[in-house]
Structure 1
Amino acid sequence: MIRKTIAGAILAMLPTAGFAQATLTAETTSPGSTPHYIDTTLAAVLDAAGVATMQITEGATLTNSVQAVAEGQLDIAPAPLILPFLLSRGVGPYSGLGAERGGELAGNLRALFFSAPSAQLFGHYNSGAIQSPDDIEGKRIYNGPPRGAALTTGRAAIQLLSGLKDGEGYEGVQTPWPDTVGTITGGAVDGWTLPEGLPSGRQIAIAAAGGTTLYDIPSDILNSELGQQIVNAPGNVAYSIPVEEYRAAYAGNDITIVTDDDSFDTFALAFAQIVPASMDEELAYQITRAYLAGQERFLTGSPRGPYLFLSFGDINGSAQGICGAVTLTMHPGAIRAYEEAGHTVADCARP
């Protein structure tokens, strides 16, 4: 996989008085993804504020990025909250570490801010073998990268929609993120499930090869016992947007949106922007302070800005996906920035 490194997109302004501009190493997902937009916008905000220059490696596998931050080899990365949870137990992609080492590493992570930008959907080409989620059985379904949070949620979504498990009722297909669109447009699969921001450049690129239909999760399924288990599983939060807004986001593209009511309802991956617990308190404060001050840029710099569900207000824990099974806490410098801006931070979010 080819990985590119980019630095801050604009020239730095004069540093904040009394604080020298830092250089931060960071990793993010591929261009066109929501974490990539958040990270590159953060880089521009920090650069403009004279706080830091972010040297960002694109196309990263966040499973590896989370471990790198925990080990102090990386300064900052977006983390689907399921990953710190799995790391803390030494299971899943971190099973090779074991519970003791995994728990130790997870204890080295702190959050600066949160988001829930990537909502799970199911899609297919209108001319293909699948014409509804009822047709999934026996088909080839793209359900994420070879490992990590997206694969976990992808498998959960298909199980919810069809009752089928990967490798039993259907054939799951996985490729690294940069190969996702090519795998789907090349005809290697009959359908796909992906966590997507709104609007998704990836879904627009897929639809450029032929008309597609995208589905949410019907309310009766989402409200079932299994549905609520998945919505409330570590790393997930509920996601709901009026369907007319969802359709408007894809206006002009050959994309049909199907829901069972007047909203697009599913579950989203909850994210945190993570740093090592050892990060200097003043640096964490300055980063978070600049992030909060940059709210308008985050919300208006892309059509997806209003649908990032970034944490620009109070932190109550549950809305951010923490303070339950996921015990990730905030960096003291970040807490100081939120409180200075007039926001409250729940006790369970404090280290």
Structure 2
Amino acid sequence: MSNSLLKLGFALALALGITQVQAETRITYKSAKSASSYYQMGVQIAEAVKAGSNGEMIVTVEESQGSVQNVMEARARGGDYVFTTPPVLVSLAQGGKAMFEGKGDPKFDEIRALFPIPSLTMHFVMSADSGVTDFAGLEGKTILLGKGSFGANEGEKYLKLFGLEGKVNLAEVELSNAVAALKNGQIDGFVTAGSWPAPNVIEAAASTGVNVLSLSDDQIAETKRTKLVIPAGTYSGQEADIVTTSLPVAAFTTTAMDDDTAYALTKTFWEEKAKMGEEAPWWNGVDQGLMANITGKIHPGAVRYYEEAGIPLTDAQK
């Protein structure tokens, strides 16, 4: 083969490679600590997006120290940045309130939602042997709340709201040891927050038998959190729905992301969600009903998908 043909072949191969690189959309997805279920969800989304787009969209998952950090980084990131956070934190950032006081930035006003992901769901898990079936029954019992987490803070808040402060023995045990402590009778119950079905609750229900407490409508109103129903049969021995509270979580980006990318990412997420649910049941709790929990604006590219799919949006979301 002549040198000129070799050069031509090399040039064509190079051009083809450049075209493929240019056609590939890269996205950074910042979620949570690597040991958390929300980081695992990020990995599942990355795999689903790659499969659903035939490799045209590549998502790289970044570890995060939490939702506040994710929101803060929106100030400096580009159009490839996607992050997860409760919608309420976006509202606080845009208003310069609470943990964002004195840290306001015009970039926060450019944050836009894409799609909901599993909510942080409160579980008050009591051993069947404890006989506890409602919050009044917690008095005198030994409960593990954990420390520093959303679930621990919420659990402590609920004990105060429901008149149980100082009436419950708080165990000094790490939440990671909750199931073992429940099995050996060291504690009567534990509080955990995460997506449902929660792995530690599944383990506890299967190994020792548990009652997951429900909240009344009045109690839910006191917490000022979002009502969530965990269907009967989710956990072993669970014969009735569990009515509890949740903190909605969603995937966000900014207006720096182009409309076509936001459209494709949102469309692929919803189209692949059923397959994700076959491998990880927490995705089965994500449906169109969670769209109402997105209180801020949705990215125009995502809005285009929702309008095509016939999923209703509020005027405030558009």
For Structure 1 versus Structure 2, the TM-score category normalised by the shorter chain is 0.7 to 0.9
Question: 2:310 and 2:120 mapped to 1: Cα distance?
Answer: 28
2:308 matches 1:340: yes
2:58 matches 1:53: yes
Please tell me whether Structure 1 or Structure 2 has the larger radius of gyration of its CA atoms. Answer: 2
CA distance change for structure 1 residues 140 and 89 in 2, over 3 Å: closer, same or farther?
A: farther
Q: 1:285 deviation in Å?
A: 1.8
Question: 1:171 and 1:152 mapped to 2: Cα distance?
Answer: 16
Match of residue 282 from structure 2: 304
CA distance change for structure 1 residues 294 and 129 in 2, over 3 Å: closer, same or farther?
A: closer
Q: 1:272 deviation in Å?
A: 1.2
2:234 matches 1:228: no
2:89 matches 1:111: no
Kindly provide the amino acid, as one letter, of the partner of residue 227 in structure 1. I
TM-score, length-scaled by structure 1: 0.67
Task: Structure 2 unaligned segments of length 5 or more: list them.
Answer: 1-18
Question: 2:194 and 2:121 mapped to 1: Cα distance?
Answer: 5
Match of residue 234 from structure 2: 249
Q: 1:330 deviation in Å?
A: 0.9
Q: 1:274 deviation in Å?
A: 1.3
CA distance change for structure 1 residues 131 and 330 in 2, over 3 Å: closer, same or farther?
A: closer
CA distance change for structure 1 residues 70 and 211 in 2, over 3 Å: closer, same or farther?
A: farther
Match of residue 176 from structure 2: 181
Question: 2:29 and 2:294 mapped to 1: Cα distance?
Answer: 26
Match of residue 134 from structure 1: 136
Match of residue 228 from structure 2: 239
Question: 1:159 and 1:131 mapped to 2: Cα distance?
Answer: 19
Question: 1:139 and 1:341 mapped to 2: Cα distance?
Answer: 49
Question: 1:321 and 1:142 mapped to 2: Cα distance?
Answer: 31
Question: 1:303 and 1:250 mapped to 2: Cα distance?
Answer: 12
Q: 1:344 deviation in Å?
A: 3.3
1:158-307 maps to which residues of 2 (within 5 A)? 158-160=159-161, 162-165=162-165, 170=168, 180-182=175-177, 185-186=180-181, 191-206=189-204, 210-217=208-215, 222-224=216-218, 227-230=220-223, 233=224, 236-242=225-231, 246=232, 248-251=233-236, 257=238, 262-306=240-284
Question: 1:287 and 1:124 mapped to 2: Cα distance?
Answer: 40
Question: 2:200 and 2:28 mapped to 1: Cα distance?
Answer: 28
CA distance change for structure 1 residues 227 and 109 in 2, over 3 Å: closer, same or farther?
A: same
Match of residue 12 from structure 2: none
Q: 1:216 deviation in Å?
A: 1.7
CA contact (8 A) 1:81 1:321 kept: yes
Question: 1:171 and 1:276 mapped to 2: Cα distance?
Answer: 45
1:1-16 maps to which residues of 2 (within 5 A)? none
CA contact (8 A) 1:26 1:54 kept: no
CA distance change for structure 1 residues 203 and 72 in 2, over 3 Å: closer, same or farther?
A: same
Residue 278 of structure 1 aligns to a residue whose secondary structure is coil
Question: 1:301 and 1:347 mapped to 2: Cα distance?
Answer: 35
TM-score, length-scaled by structure 2: 0.73
Question: 2:241 and 2:196 mapped to 1: Cα distance?
Answer: 14
Question: 2:65 and 2:243 mapped to 1: Cα distance?
Answer: 29
2:77 matches 1:72: yes
CA contact (8 A) 1:70 1:106 kept: yes
Of all paired residues, the percent bearing the same amino acid is 20
Kindly provide the amino acid, as one letter, of the partner of residue 297 in structure 2. T
Q: Which has the higher helix share?
A: 2
